[in-house]
Amino acid sequence: MADITAAPRRRRSAGKGLNLRLWLPLSWIVILICAAVFAPLVAPQDPLMQDLMMERLPPFFMQGAEPGFWLGTDSLGRDVLSRMIYGARIALFVSVIAATTTCVFGSALGLLAGYYGGWWDRVISRLVDIWMAFPPVLFAVLLVAVMGTGLTSVIAAIALIDWTRFARVIRAETMVQARMDYVDSARIGGARRLATLVTEILPNVLPTIIALLMLEMGIAIIVEAILSFVNLSISSDDPTWGSMIAEGRGAIHFAWWVLLFPLIALFFSVLSFSTLGEGLKKRFDPVLQ
């Protein structure tokens, strides 16, 4: 006789796993946001203060550490933890602004191409194909080099490169949704095409948009780190994770912490955004539900 309680147990187990996949990355992102917002309050030192007498101090768990410098110092005596906290400000600012801009522009084009079809689809699809022919990282470096360094140039470069990801995925998702019975019912009921797109199709595509948005935030953090690594982001004196990694690379044999801790922060931030996006899609997607 089949165990009638097996299915409920599986659903409860899946729900617990899904909640864990949501809460773990969300917890890291909340910590990151709080550290960025309250950086002047939580940073133990001034991130720009140099003291050559304190250069390359080890982290608190190693012999020779100094109180107040929890993750050690770099070659100029600057506190690594404080620079990481202020670097989170730049990383989150770039990721939110660039990803949101990319999301709105790319998703709008994808919705139009997938729902209206015809010349809308042909023009947008050809534009996407042409844009994706350029290597993204090299294209970003080229754009920043032409526009000049600065956060505005970094955000513009990310938005100009990654809108194609949203356009392609949302176009395909919209084409699937446009063939559903509920769209035909809305049309028979007299709803206009634009109203059907906004009120019927968009809510069902929204989980995919949110998942892509979270993924794009992680990608934006990586791109900003790459650009700051090659000194094409903001001023080299300002703390960014990429510039800290670039500095730590040259001192890895005798001050490994300058490289390792920003890498860990970068890794967990990107992983958390991508995992959170996937978890939100599974949690709120009506098709999966």
Q: Write out 231-254 in H/E/C secondary structure.
A: CCCCCCCCCCHHHHHHHHHCCCCC
Predicted pLDDT of residue 18: 57
Q: How far apart are CA 125 and CA 119, in angstroms?
A: 10
* pLDDT-based confidence at residue 146 (cuts at 50, 70, 90): confident
Between CA 68 and CA 80 the distance in angstroms is 11
Q: Is the pLDDT score of 25 beyond 60? A: yes
What band does 137 get if pLDDT is binned at 50, 70 and 90?
confident
Domain ranges across the chain: 15-37+76-284
- Tens digits of per-residue pLDDT, 177-210? 888 888 878 777 777 888 888 888 888 898 889 9
Q: pLDDT at residue 86 above 80?
A: yes
Q: What is the mean pLDDT of the chain?
A: 85
Q: CA–CA separation, 280 vs 284, rounded Å?
A: 6
The pTM of the full predicted model, rounded to 2 decimals, is: 0.85
d(CA 121, CA 123): 6
Domain 15-37+76-284 has CATH 1.10.3720.10: yes
Greatest CA separation for the chain = 77
Mean pLDDT, range 97-106, rounded to an integer: 93
Q: What 3-state DSSP class applies to 256? A: coil
pLDDT-based confidence at 5, cuts 50/70/90?
A: very low
Whole-number Cα distances in Å, 253 to 56, 239, 240, 249: 12, 22, 21, 9
Mean per-residue pLDDT, 56-82: 90
Q: Is 236 in contact with 243 (CB distance < 8 Å)?
A: yes
Average pLDDT over residues 253-275: 92
- Residue 57 per-residue DSSP state: P
The DSSP bridge partners found for residue 73 are 79
Does residue 15 carry a pLDDT above 60? no
What is the arithmetic mean of pLDDT over 74-87?
92
Helix (H, G, I), strand (E, B) or coil at 64: coil
3-state secondary structure of 120: helix
For residues 210 and 219, is the Cβ–Cβ distance under 8 A?
A: no
Indicate the angle between helix axes 241-249 and 202-229, nearest 10 degrees.
40
pLDDT digit string, tens, across residues 235-249: 667 889 998 998 888
Question: What's the pLDDT score for residue 289?
Answer: 55
**DSSP string of 213-235, one letter each residue:** HHHHHHHHHHHHHHHHHTT-SS-
Q: Does 150 have pLDDT greater than 90?
A: no
